[in-house]
Amino acid sequence: MNLLKANASDAPRWARLADAYKVLDKLDEAVKAISLPEADANVITQFVDLLVTPTHGDM
């Protein structure tokens, strides 16, 4: 993650990191990762998706 912080505007890489965290059910980390890059329509869409994803299958 330190390499990404050095290039904070690399939205596609932040999005991939957030996807990886989501797959691992680490939604808090995913939200942190996706909220760091500069605004990008795809990143914002993914951020919203993370916010509405239920945790651990609970609704």
Where in the chain are the domains?
15-53
Give the distance from CA 46 to its chain's centroid. 7
Instruction: Give the span between the Cα atoms of 25 and 21, in whole angstroms.
Output: 6
- Residue-wise pLDDT for 15-47, tens only, equals 888 889 988 989 888 888 877 656 566 777 777
3-state helix, strand, coil in the chain (%, to 5): 70, 0, 30
Tell me which of 50 and 9 has the higher pLDDT.
Answer: 50
Q: Count the residues in the chain.
A: 59
Instruction: Give the span between the Cα atoms of 36 and 9, in whole angstroms.
Output: 8
Verdict on whether the full-model pTM lies above 0.75: no
Question: Of 35, 25, 46, 28, which is closest to residue 5 (Cα–Cα)?
Answer: 35
